[in-house]
Amino acid sequence: MKSYNLPLLLLVALTTLVGLTACQKEIDWGTGNLANQLLVKVIAKTGANDSTFTTYSYDAQRRLIREVNVTVTGGNSVQTDFVINRNAAGVITSSVLKSPDLAATGIDSLVTRYLYSNNRYTSGAFTLSLGGITFTDSALYTYDANERIISDQHLLKSTLLPLPIPIPILKNVYTYTADGKNLTKQEQSAPSMPGGPLSPVSNQTYTHDTKVNPLILLNEAIILNRADWFNANNVLTNQFASTADPTQNFTVDNSYRYNSANKPDSLFSTRAGQVTTSKFFYQ
């Protein structure tokens, strides 16, 4: 991505907080006997020593409320905790992220609060302070006629910047299949310097199978920056293309084995010749 010409600390913060999930692998849930069971754990292994353990928790109404990732690399274990807070109606009111990247900057957790009106999530925002400087990132959501989120625009307001008004720092545009069940493309634009015009920096395109995705959150997936959780089906290919730096381009090819409920039992994911094997557990 192009430099925003901001201090390194802000670049690290924005890269970590806004882009935490841009390139996450597809890990999903579902409902059903197997068909009525929820995904509770995924164990992914790459090579002989690297692995990721992901666990999911739900409320009494079977709504996702927590994701915990424990990554083991070279014998070292790192845990990232993502909590989703909902009101009695199930509407997401806030999310809380704790991660080593945040802790390294002296931040205990990142709390994002969401506004909901007329059966739509209208915006989300978080505020953080680094070295006495305050940053507020707010996201505004745009919908199509079928009530799908088709874009979100992130605005930054900071005591570091000379202007007191928020400035655009990132825009995501989402494209769906004709039936609206799967996300086929996500395009990102960003300015090359604070206050500058947005220009394309990257895009991801997806293809899907016809089986059941075990974690389907629809518009909640978009507001939580987990776009892969929108889909009704499972991602077969993910092609990432960087306009800013084509050397960062990659393709992920996924091959699944399915259980009797047509949900993934296991996944073989290949990127640049490296294979990651994942096992799915339901309860």
pLDDT at residue 2 tops 80:
no
pLDDT at 164: 65
pLDDT digit string (tens) for 32-41?
467 899 999 9
Instruction: Give the CA distances from residue 146 to residues 196, 215, 219, in Å, rounded to whole numbers and listed in that order.
Output: 32, 21, 11
Residue 166 one-letter amino acid: P
Model confidence at 93, pLDDT cuts 50, 70, 90, reads: very high
Q: Which domains, from first to last, does the chain contain? A: 8-282 (2.40.160.190)
Q: N- to C-terminal Cα distance for the chain?
A: 40
Do the strands 167-176 and 183-190 form a parallel or antiparallel pair, or are they unpaired?
A: antiparallel
Average pLDDT of the chain?
87
- Cut 0.95: pTM above it: no
CB 17 within 8 A of CB 136: no
The one-letter amino acid at 91: V
